[in-house]
Amino acid sequence: MLTFIRALHTAIYVVMVGAILTVLYAAVTGRAGPWLVAALGLVAIESVVFAGSGMKCPLTAIAVRYGATKTGAYDTFFPERCTRHTLTVFGSLAALGVLLLAIRWLAHREPRPGFGG
């Protein structure tokens, strides 16, 4: 069961890193599409999950329940030194990406007829 949890956690980790980098790429380049909507949705869901879990990944607690210990790669298949600062690094990148997107969208928003335009 621990191997399954670690594999699932690793897959989710990779997908979420991709989603965060997608948001950041769109924010920097101004390119958007349906992939951006999907990435923003994933980042939003992950943010809610982390906030609801006391800013800790619930899969880590499940991995520990099934015998994972903090030696080497314990809750994913990545070495712990690679995932140690995940929340700080990727949380900051996600926040930066969303902030830059918001600034970009607000700066290029066309006035709508009937709303002061």
In a domain, 88, yes or no: yes
Q: Which of the four pLDDT bands, split at 50, 70 and 90, describes residue 93?
A: very high
| Residue range(s) defining the domain that contains residue 46 | 2-107
Number of domains in the chain: 1
Neighbours of 87 (CB within 10 A): 14
Question: Which of the pair, 28 or 111, is modelled with greater confidence?
Answer: 28
Assigned domain for 14 exists: yes
State how far the Cα of 34 lies from the Cα of 20, in Å rounded to an integer.
15
The Cα angle at residue 74 between residues 72 and 80, in degrees rounded to 5: 50
pLDDT tens digit string along 1-42?
Answer: 999 999 999 999 999 999 999 999 999 998 989 999 999 999
Asked, for residue 33, whether it belongs to a domain, the answer is yes
Q: Is residue 10 part of a domain?
A: yes
**Mean pLDDT value across the chain:** 89
Domain assignment present for residue 24? The answer is: yes
Whether 115 is in a domain gets the answer no
